[in-house]
């Protein structure tokens, strides 16, 4: 795929932010599982280089919403626009092809493989190929892995350390580094700080800012409102499958967001 792809985001010359067209638009997204309505006519847009924090109580539909965008689920109704054009995202591969990368909550790393191996999983660099056998260019991959991680300001002692022996923050960094290797427009992070200590969480939030500086848009789910307020450009609040808030952090406060997250729970029973 991107044999020579550099980790550093370069100028892309595509639709500029100032034309007003957002990078991604989800319009009227409804998702039903049998009789259960997980999402009800939800709109979500993400601008170029914008960081959107997605919040909501358990079962609010956050994961469902991003699963639709990342190709893991398909919406029952509603449409997706990418750079102003209508798109159909049927599989995770479709999403990747558009430029949407997803870092899953469990990170999807192979614990028994080293740092470089995980970074290049599925797109190994070969030294030479013999029939069905592609011989790994290990040294080159270690060197490239080091470069990618340096861009993200994450230090690793060795590219040969097995991922199992790393801290939660380091693991998260590898998963993020892997997601940006293909030069995406948008990275979706599903609860990136849920399993981390405070200090490591801060490093991951720094990482989100780094992505933004490189011109990458980010959607991230979090349960910690402080993180969302300090990192996001916009906060989208879901409640029982409905979008109940789309706010700028500087124009709101945590009380309001919490009220939106839990509010209207009992008077919204009309089907």
Partner 1 sequence: MVLNRDWRGLIANYGIYIGFFGLIVALSLITDRFLTFRNLLNVAEQASLISIVGIGMTMVILMGEIDLSVGSIVALSGVVTGGSLTGGLGLPISLLIGLGTGLGLGLVNGIITVYGEIPSFIVTLGMLSVAKGLTLLYTGGKPVWGFGDVFKFIGGGKLFGIPLPVIIAACLYLLALVILNFTQIGRYIYAIGGNQRAVRLAGVKVERLKMVVFGVSGFFAAISGIILASRLASAQPTAGSGWELDAIAAVVLGGTSLYGGEGQLAGTLVGALIFSVINNGMILTGIPTFFQYVVKGGIIILALLLDKKLRQS
Beta carbon of residue 116, minimum distance to partner 1 (angstroms, whole number): 11
Helix axes 138-151, 168-180, angle to 10 degrees: 100
Residue 117 touches partner 1, criterion: CB under 8 A: yes
What CA–CA distance (Å, rounded) separates 72 from 63?
Answer: 10
What is the smallest separation between the CB atom of 197 and partner 1, expressed in angstroms?
23
Q: Is 12 an interacting residue with respect to partner 1 (CB under 8 A)? A: no
Q: What six digits make up the tokens of 188?
A: 């979706």
Taking the least distance from each CB to partner 1, the nearer of 61 and 71 is 71
- Whether residue 56 contacts residue 238, with contact meaning beta carbons closer than 8 Å, is answered with yes
Residue 266 in the binding site for partner 1 (CB under 8 A): no
269 near partner 1, rule: CB under 8 A:
no
Q: Hey, how many other C-beta atoms are within 10 angstroms of the C-beta on 198? A: 8
Q: Residue 121 interacts with partner 1 (CB under 8 A)? A: yes
Kind and range of the H or E run holding 31? strand 24-33
Is the separation of the CB atoms in 191 and 227 below 8 Å?
Answer: no
Residue 51, CA distances (Å) to 193, 229, 230, 232, 240 in order: 15, 11, 11, 5, 23
- Residue that the structure tokens 């861009």 belong to: 151
CB of 194 to partner 1, least distance (A): 18
The site that binds partner 1 (CB under 8 A) totals a number of residues, namely 21
**Of 108 and 197, which has the nearer Cβ to partner 1?**
108
* Minimum distance of partner 1 from residue 7's CB (angstroms): 17
Task: Return the residues of window 131-170 that contact partner 1 according to CB under 8 A.
Answer: 132-136
Run of H or E including 174: helix 168-180
56 binding partner 1? (CB under 8 A): no
Contacting residue, 42, 44, 64, 104, with partner 1 by CB under 8 A? 104
By the rule CB under 8 A, 109 interacts with partner 1:
yes
Q: Does 126 bind partner 1 (CB under 8 A)?
A: yes
Question: Helices 168-180 and 198-213 sit at what angle, rounded to 10 degrees?
Answer: 10
Closest approach, Cβ 110 to partner 1, in A, equals 4
Catalog residues that contact partner 1 under the rule CB under 8 A. Answer: 92-93, 104, 108-113, 117-118, 121-124, 126, 132-136
């Amino acid at each position: 795929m991107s044999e020579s792809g550099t980790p550093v985001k370069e100028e892309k010359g595509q639709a500029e932010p100032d034309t007003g067209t957002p990078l991604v638009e989800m319009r009227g997204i409804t998702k039903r599982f049998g009789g259960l309505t997980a999402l009800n006519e939800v709109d979500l847009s993400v601008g170029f280089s914008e960081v959107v924090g997605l919040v909501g109580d358990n079962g609010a539909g956050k994961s469902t919403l991003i699963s639709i965008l990342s190709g893991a689920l398909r919406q029952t109704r509603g449409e997706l626009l990418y750079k102003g054009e209508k798109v159909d995202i049927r599989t995770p591969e479709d999403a990747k092809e558009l430029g949407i990368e997803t870092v899953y909550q469990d990170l999807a790393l192979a614990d028994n493989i080293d740092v470089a191996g995980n970074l290049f999983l599925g797109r190994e660099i070969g030294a030479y190929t013999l029939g069905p056998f592609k011989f790994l260019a290990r040294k080159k991959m270690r060197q490239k892995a080091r470069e990618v991680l340096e861009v993200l300001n994450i230090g690793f002692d060795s590219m040969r350390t097995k991922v199992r022996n790393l801290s939660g923050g380091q693991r998260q960094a590898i998963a993020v580094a892997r997601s940006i290797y293909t030069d995406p427009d948008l990275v979706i992070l599903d609860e990136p700080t849920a399993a981390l200590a405070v200090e490591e969480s801060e490093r991951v939030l720094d990482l989100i800012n780094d992505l933004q500086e490189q011109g990458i848009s980010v959607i991230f789910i979090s349960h910690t409102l402080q993180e969302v307020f300090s990192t996001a450009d916009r906060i989208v609040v879901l409640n029982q499958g409905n979008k109940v808030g789309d706010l700028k952090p500087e124009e709101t406060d945590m009380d309001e967001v919490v009220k939106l997250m839990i509010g209207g729970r009992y008077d919204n029973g009309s089907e």
